Amino acid sequence: MNDGPRPTVRGRRLGSELRRLRELASKSTEDAAGALQCSRAKISRIETGSVGIRRLDLGVLLDLYGVTEPSARDALETIARESKKRGWWHDYGDTIPPAFADFLDLEGDATYIQTWQPLVIPGLLQTEGYARSLLEANPAAVRPERIDQLVKVRMERKAVLTKPNAARFWAIIWEPALRCPVGGADVHREQLRYLAEAAQLPNVRMQVVPLDVGATAGACGGFVMFGFTDSPTPGAVSLETLTSSHYLEQEAELDGYGLVFDYLRSSALNPTQSLDMITAIEAET
């Protein structure tokens, strides 16, 4: 049985925000359906991201919900316009599974990206040699014939840090991730050297949580938070498993991860001390 097209991550984001705005304005799905002269079922499908929405209809709903701030309206119109836009990664065909395509959508749209990585270097900061070594170490998730393409994808992702209006990137890394000699000594040194260079980018902030902080840091698995406005509350959180990714979009969950990130940030060395540790580990390697 065909259940129809799979909702895109942009469509889900737009629908979730429209639902939030409707509830904030104390409007029902019946009110929204009346404004668009459509069924309540269509409003529900819009709010789950199952169907798109025309720009004129979006404007009608924003008027109904009392959204007058131009920047807020523009942001939602941009998401609606680009919800069916093909990303550069679509050229890789089925090499990119749907869950990873969602991740790339979020990463490409984000205003800021914040990540905690206890075991590996964040993907946006990996060298080609490091990325290849990681992929080769995970045969359960990556077929050998696809490794070259996936390494290329990982390198192309770095453009989000250097493009015009680049995303602000804040990485917090646990010390074991820096000390693990992924790929051998040469690859390890190259990776640490690249981290030190990336830390100099004006939109990149990097901190290290040292081992002597204790077990608390290690008890929290890695995650990536994506923000799409200047709000400190992220718009989505990505959790990666061995073979897939899971996305959190509920407000309570997002708030929780924001608090965890703040705790990790306060436990970490400041950026200058973190850079000193990275260069010291490189010198020891």
Name the nearest CA neighbour of 125 among 65, 66, 55, 206.
Answer: 206
Query: Model confidence at 261, in pLDDT bands (50, 70, 90)?
Result: very high
Q: pTM for the whole thing?
A: 0.78
Residue scoring higher pLDDT (187 or 217): 187
Q: Residue 160: left (phi > 0), alpha (psi -120 to 50), or beta?
A: alpha
pLDDT per residue as tens digits for the range 156-182: 999 999 999 899 999 999 999 999 999
Candidate ranges 50-64, 66-80, 191-205, 207-221; pick with highest mean pLDDT: 191-205
Query: Which domains are assigned to the chain?
Result: 9-82 (1.10.260.40), 89-284 (3.30.870.10)
The rounded distance, in Å, linking the Cα atoms of 137 and 273 is 31
pLDDT for the residue numbered 13: 78
The rounded distance, in Å, linking the Cα atoms of 161 and 150 is 19
Could you count the other beta carbons within 10 Å of the beta carbon of residue 172? 24
Query: Model confidence at 109, in pLDDT bands (50, 70, 90)?
Result: confident
Query: Model confidence at 142, in pLDDT bands (50, 70, 90)?
Result: confident
Give the helix ranges, DSSP H, for 7-113: 9-24, 29-36, 40-48, 55-64, 70-82, 98-109
What angle (nearest 5°) sits at the alpha carbon of residue 160, between those of residues 157 and 166? 175
The rounded distance, in Å, linking the Cα atoms of 163 and 22 is 35
- Are the CB atoms for 91 and 152 separated by under 8 Å? no
